[in-house]
Chains A and B, each alone.
Chain A
Amino acid sequence: FPAELPPLPARSALSAAEILRYSRQLVLPELGVRGQLRLARSSVLVVGCGGLGCPLAQYLAAAGVGRLGLVDHDVVETSNLQRQVLHGEARRGRPKARSAAAALRRLNSAVQYVPYRGALRPRSALRLVRQYDIVADCSDNVPTRYLVSDACVLAGKPLVSGSALRLEGQLAVYNYRGGPCYRCLFPEPPPPDTVTNCADGGVLGVVTGIIGCMQALEVLKIASGMGSSFGGYMLMFDALEGRFRNIKLRPRKADCAVCGDNPSVTCLQDYEAFCGSSATDKCRALRLLPSGDRVSVQQYKELLDARVPHVLLDVRPQVEAEICRLQHALHIPLRSLEEKDEQALQRLQKRICEEKQRTDDQTPLPVYVVCKLGNDSQKAVKILQELPAEEFGSVLAKDIKGGLMAWATKIDSTFPQY
């Protein structure tokens, strides 16, 4: 990351060009010239240039904030374009921080943009956060949320935090005017396997857009001196109901590990270890099964070509099976297996029975289990291994490593990726 930034100069008046440019907001008594000058002297660190960071940075740039720091370790991918509206098709493969800076520069060249191409890390986060007045958490993973929050408490900066998933969003302003920090509300990170990210849960672009714009609004209110309305409240947005709820939060927790009266966290830690998950929204590859219970996509392709009798069981959710599937697969969502859904188990039993008629029935019938990435398929194998042999006959369940996405990259390039 680049060295220390010089402070933004204090100014006493707007130029004629600035007056024209910002005239529609200058006439608002709540903002006025005084607010605009404050805005021009404010710096905002945007952590994450994705679905939340894009609209946030866009509106802050348009409104004439002084400096925007843009942090992102990732490059633009095709599946980002549906919501990360600063990045165009031509930017695919380019670092998001720079792509965002380039798009914003076209919008307002008077703002200073400082792209940081890399993840926010415990080693450098505090130095970076100290150089900015306000921090916006637009990240997509749990470890980064704790890191950003702790850094803001240690540096004494307000944190405008947004998050979105599927058709819902949350917004809060932490460490602001006696209100709580993120840890006051969530002292312990959630167990990693209860966390859903946008890659496997999905998210509607408009929802990240709405929350990102709400974050921009709160940043703008703090920077211009109006003050935020969300110091002690969390906004919950439900897009399906079209409903916003404001939940009144607790005040700062006196025994909070970081913002409390006797804090135990006085420097930044290893947040990936603390949360037991990695600081990206990429899906982790779980290893629940011994390697003897797993096959590669190449091995499965050979079995398929050799016409070895078997059952292929696809355990993805229904909505994903509707996107694409292997035609010969039997589809039963993992959830139905977990719930021991009777109809689903009967379908499985029937298919096993049919397939067994093609064999001499001396050896166990192989059941290969596939999902998107090879995590749920391992959970399903464990369930299949517990099924009673008297009903299902003798079967040998294995999962296909890397799932259908590995199939798409290594075996069949026409198979859709999502």
Chain B
Amino acid sequence: MCQPLASYWLGHTHHVKLAGLRCETLSVPREITSLQLWEEIVKVHPRLALIRDQVVFAVRQEYVLLGDQLLVLQPGDEVAIIPPISGG
């Protein structure tokens, strides 16, 4: 059962010439593994798959390893995908 849930924040991904947007809301199951959540987002933004191993994936502002870890999400939870930026 899907419901409007995590507002996921694309961190700095628009620099990575990927999604070109900052923030949007996604409906996902309330209980979902971190890897499934990532895959849901990649469905919307396929180019993110290119940098899967080069991002910090954070849920509620906390690092989450992509894998079997089960997340219990609350409406409005923020998911961030943070690639490193290197400019200075």
Hey, which chain B residues are within 8 Å of A145, CB to CB? 84, 86
Chain A residues in 8 Å Cβ range of B20: 335
Taking CB atoms, residues of chain A closer than 8 Å to B82 are: 170, 234, 236, 247
Is the beta-carbon distance between A196 and B87 smaller than 8 angstroms? yes
Additional 10 contacts, C-beta under 8 A, given A194-B50, A250-B65:
A165-B15, A165-B86, A165-B87, A170-B12, A190-B51, A195-B86, A196-B85, A196-B87, A234-B56, A236-B11
Determine whether A198 belongs to the interface, using a CB cutoff of 8 Å to chain B. Answer: yes
Q: Are B16 and A190 in contact (CB under 8 A)?
A: yes
> Do A170 and B16 form a contact, CB below 8 Å, given A188-B53, A190-B54, A248-B61?
no
**Least CB separation from B78: chain A residue:** A245
Q: Is A48 an interface residue (CB 8 A)?
A: yes
Taking the complex as formed, is A164 at the interface, i.e. its CB lies under 8 A from any CB of chain B? yes
The residues of B that contact A208 with a CB separation of less than 8 Å are: 88
Number of A-B contacts (CB under 8 A): 105
Chief secondary structure at chain A's binding surface: mixed
A25 within 8 A of B: no
A14 to chain B, nearest CB (A): 34
Task: Known contacts A165-B12, A195-B16; decide if A186 and B54 are in contact (CB<8 Å).
Answer: yes
A196 touches B15 (CB 8 A): yes
Contact A281 B87 (CB under 8 A): yes
* Complex CA–CA separation, A196 to B88 (angstroms): 11
Which 10 pairs between the two chains have the least Cβ-Cβ distance? A165-B87, A198-B87, A140-B88, A248-B62, A52-B88, A190-B54, A165-B85, A250-B63, A196-B15, A194-B16
CB under 8 Å from chain A, chain B span 58-78: 58, 61-63, 65
Scan residues 169-193 of chain A and give those whose CB is less than 8 A from a CB of chain B: 169-170, 182, 185-191, 193
Give every chain A residue within 8 A of B65 (Cβ-Cβ): 250
A142 CB within 8 Å of chain B:
yes
Contact B86 A139 (CB under 8 A): yes
Please tell me which one of the listed residues A140, A189, A245 contacts residue B87 in the complex, with CB atoms under 8 A apart.
A140
Chain A residues with CB under 8 Å of B16's CB are 190, 194-196
Q: How far is the CA of A139 from the CA of B83 in the complex (A)?
A: 17
Q: Which one of B15, B85, B87 has the greatest number of beta carbons of chain A within 10 Å?
A: B87
Interface centre among B58, B83, B84, B86 (most CB of A within 10 A): B86
Interface residues of chain B, those whose CB is within 8 Å of chain A, are: 11-12, 15-18, 20, 50-51, 53-54, 56, 58, 61-63, 65, 80, 82-88
Determine the chain B residues whose CB is within 8 A of the CB of A198 once the complex forms: 87-88
> Which A residues are CB-close (under 8 A) to B50?
191, 194
User: In the assembled complex, how far is the CB of residue A202 from the closest CB belonging to chain B, in whole angstroms?
Assistant: 9
A150 an interface residue at 8 Å Cβ cutoff? no
Contact across chains for A247 and B80 when beta carbons are under 8 A apart: yes
User: In the complex, which residues of chain B have a beta carbon less than 8 angstroms from the beta carbon of A64?
Assistant: none
User: Knowing A185-B56, A190-B16 touch, does A197 contact B51 (C-beta < 8 A)?
Assistant: no
Do B88 and A249 touch (CB < 8 A)?
no
Alpha-carbon distance A140/B65, docked complex (angstroms) = 27
A247 close to B85 (CB less than 8 A): no
Instruction: Determine whether the beta carbon of B86 is less than 8 Å from that of A245.
Output: no
Contact A163 B87 (CB under 8 A): yes
Cα distance, A247 to B83, chains bound together (Å): 13
CB of A163 within 8 A of CB of B88, answer yes
